[in-house]
Structure 1
Amino acid sequence: MKKVAYIFPGQGSQEVGMGQEMYETYDNVKQLFDQADEKLGYSLTSLMFEGPGEELTKTENAQPALLLNSVGITKVLEEKGVTPLMTAGHSLGEYSALVAAGSLNPAEAVQLVHTRGKLMEEAVPTGQGAMAAVLGLSKENIEEVLADFDESEPVDLANINCPGQIVISGTAQGVEKASHLLKEAGAKRVLPLNVSGPFHSRLMEPASEEFAANLKEVSITAAQCPVYANVTAEPVTKPGEIGELLIKQLYSPVRFEEILEKFVEADLDAIVEVGHGKVLSGLVKKVNRRTKTFSIQDPESLQSFIDWYKEDS
């Protein structure tokens, strides 16, 4: 049997219309989406299929929508006999990775990330926090520039995505100041990100305390395959450890480059991006061009992956 790992996209990948073809093609996806609507008490499905886009982009909607979309695809893959050897997700995608590994119940996970999104929105008033992608500068160089910032305008490393692509996060003023200094230090470009808050920075610590209380209400079971955690870039399977790392994940950097390096070294036949978009497949290629990747987001891309998976096996 071929050896595959799943990676799951995070916030920013959402788009109106995502998941609709899967919903219309597979009964178990329809069932999952309908259950989520019932659990949330509003129709996330119609927001996903019809928009409006600005409503879908709100953190409290984007997070459950992306999770639901990824989990729907995972369920179909499971039904077709595909089992991942390991999983990981980018930021919010870690929750999809935990569902895929059997550690979180899909309906509970949808509710949990909806709450997570709300708490993240509320942690810092809109407009007061910001994030920016820094291109062409090493982690060490960025850390050097940020080391001189004082507590009143904190800026932290948020996502270490791949060589030469790192995201910073903090107060709007801090990120603006850092952007100028990083360009002076040799960054090719610094691009502001279209997000509603300073995710994965110390400004999210207040949200993490309240989130911890919500997490206690959720049943986390042992993962059936290793899930590589954003916070440590190490595999986890134990429920207690998974819960602790999900709390820390809110205000800690996403060490995605290290996770991908470990996946590339793991002698896999392919790394499969499960969910909307192809951002993570692109990151895999930047870590190692020779690694075979698939991105599955609709019945057609799912079928071409299944055809490959079943060849000679």
Structure 2
Amino acid sequence: MTRTAVLICPGRGTYNKPELGYLHRHHADKAALFASFDAARATLGQEEVTALDGATRFSVSKYSRGDIASPLIYASAVADAQSLAEDIEVVAVTGNSMGWYIALAAAGALTPQHGFDLVNTMGSLMQEHLIGGQLVYPFTGSDWRNDPHRKADLLQKVAEINAREGHVLSLSIDLGGLLVLAGDEAGLSAFEAAVPVVEDRFPMRLANHAGFHTRLQEPVAAAGRARLNAAMLQQPEVALIDGRGAIWRPGATDLAALWDYTLGHQVVEPYDFTRAVQNAALEFAPDLFIVTGPGTTLGGAVAQSLVHQNWQGLSDKAAFKTRQQKDPLLISMGDDGQRKLVVR
């Protein structure tokens, strides 16, 4: 019997020390795919993806760089998307932040190679410019219940800081129960000073992350448009859900508009991952939400997004965990135990 699924592609921050060797462990059968990625990197004088993945030592300073992390995450996620079991029907694809670029390839709007070129180009540009930074802060408690008043208060604080002279701060990603904020050093520091520490780790700065999804990235978006060719886009084979929750459908997608979004709004405006997941649930009602690797950190944001709309009665973390134990709804391919449920 066919299982329907929404496929969700991760963004930056998902290839960490435990993921070193991901391509070699899970995708030894995809040498030809990775060879083309390696060749593209070599032409640019960059270290090959398979060499990066096959290294014996992991360092945050190196592997968190945009020009290193982005191609590794892309290769891992696209290979995972190609490894799904034959009884799984992907009815829609979405992603978080950089995961939008991966989603384009997973949905067939880009060939795997064109998707790699897009990701490698934008990851390198982000690293070259490295404008601003990001931090993460929760607005829900440990039970994951939605707290719109707390969220509104935090966003009001963000707006107040952004209005100060010499400060830049805004929402970057609406990520389940987390707010990802982006800004300059003055804006980020002001927020850190204004909020209490939560769980001994928030607010958490993200290493080597620029001020993604804000106006700070306009030079990067312009450089991307100058280097890349819109002709690489083609009609998606399955529906795509973008960072506004908008749906791009096969055979009915305006490719010029899709390109404008991808290297325009998607780069310089807030990314609403929560809405993307919720719209995927409402519009496609899948049997499964499958998060490709690498890593497993995006699963929490997917689960929280579903809880915040009370999807199928999932009212809080406890309800979600009970459902997962009884009849798994969310599968993270970066988790070896869950992975085997959905791969060939």
TM-score, normalised via structure 1 length: 0.86
**Match of 2:167?**
153
Residue 340 of structure 2 is matched in structure 1 by 303
How far is the alpha carbon of 1:306 from its aligned partner?
4.3
Matched, 1:235 2:242: no
Distance 2:165 2:73 in 1: 33
Q: How many residues align?
A: 296
State whether residues 101 and 118 of structure 2, in contact with CA within 8 Å, keep that contact through their aligned partners in structure 1: no
Deviates more, 1:11-20 or 1:295-304: 295-304
**% identical aligned pairs:** 21
Q: Distance in 2 between matches of 1:213 and 1:278?
A: 34
User: What are the equivalent positions in structure 2 for 1:205-284 lying under 5 Å apart?
Assistant: 205-216=218-229, 218-230=231-243, 232-237=244-249, 238=253, 239-247=255-263, 248-265=265-282, 266-284=284-302
* Conserved? CA contact 1:112–1:214, under 8 Å: no
Please report the RMSD computed on the Cα atoms of aligned residues, expressed in angstroms: 2.4
**What is the aligned partner in structure 2 of residue 133 from structure 1?**
136
| Cα distance in 1 between the residues matched to 2:170 and 2:211 | 9
**1:250-279 C-alpha deviation (Å, 9 max, x unpaired):** 121110111121223332111001111112
1:77 aligns with 2:114: no
2:155 aligned to 143, 148, 159, which one? 143
Deviations 1:275-311 (A, max 9, x none): 111122222222332470111138875432248xxxx
- 8 A contact 1:161–1:255 mirrored in 2: yes
Shift in Å at residue 124 of structure 1? Answer: 3.7
CA contact (8 A) 1:85 1:226 kept: yes
Encode CA deviations 1:168-208: one digit per residue, 9 max, x unaligned.
10101210102222449xxx942222233222222111111
* 1:19 paired residue among 12, 16, 23: 23
Change (3 A) 1:302 1:262: same
In the alignment, is the contact (CA less than 8 A) between 1:131 and 1:168 conserved in 2?
A: yes
Alpha-carbon distance in structure 2 between the residues aligned to 1:62 and 1:32? 18
Q: Which of residues 85, 88, 91 is equivalent to 2:97? A: 91
Q: TM-score, normalised by structure 2?
A: 0.79
Asked whether the 8 Å contact 1:158–1:201 carries over to 2, the reply is yes
**8 A contact 2:168–2:186 mirrored in 1:** no
Per-residue displacement from partner, 1:103-137 (whole Å, max 9, x unpaired)?
A: 01111211221110121123346xxx221111126
What is the CA–CA distance in structure 2 between the aligned matches of 1:12 and 1:124, rounded to whole Å?
15
Stretch of structure 1 that moved more, 44-53 or 268-277: 44-53
Describe the superposition over 1:226-263 as per-residue Cα deviations: whole angstroms up to 9, x where unpaired: 11111x21111422222111112112111011112122
The Cα shift of 1:157 comes to: 0.2
What amino acid does structure 2 have at the position aligned with 1:224? E
Q: How far apart in 2 are the matches of 1:151 and 1:96?
A: 37
AA partner of residue 192 (structure 2)? S
Q: Helix, strand or coil: the match of 1:19?
A: helix
Write the letter of the residue equivalent to 2:176. C
Contact 2:10 2:95 in 1 (8 A): yes
1:180 to 178, 189, 193: 193
Q: Is the 8 A contact 1:5 1:272 kept in 2?
A: yes
- Tell me the residue number matched to 1:311: none
Q: In the alignment, is the contact (CA less than 8 A) between 1:66 and 1:276 conserved in 2?
A: yes
Query: In the alignment, which residue of structure 1 is the partner of 2:146?
Result: none
Question: Contact 2:139–2:151 at 8 Å: present in 1 too?
Answer: no
For structure 1, the 5+ residue unaligned runs are 308-313
Offset at residue 143 of structure 1 (A): 2.5
Q: Distance in 1 between matches of 2:122 and 2:112?
A: 15
Distance 1:267 1:225 in 2: 15
What is the SS of the residue equivalent to 2:90? coil
Aligned match of 2:69:
62
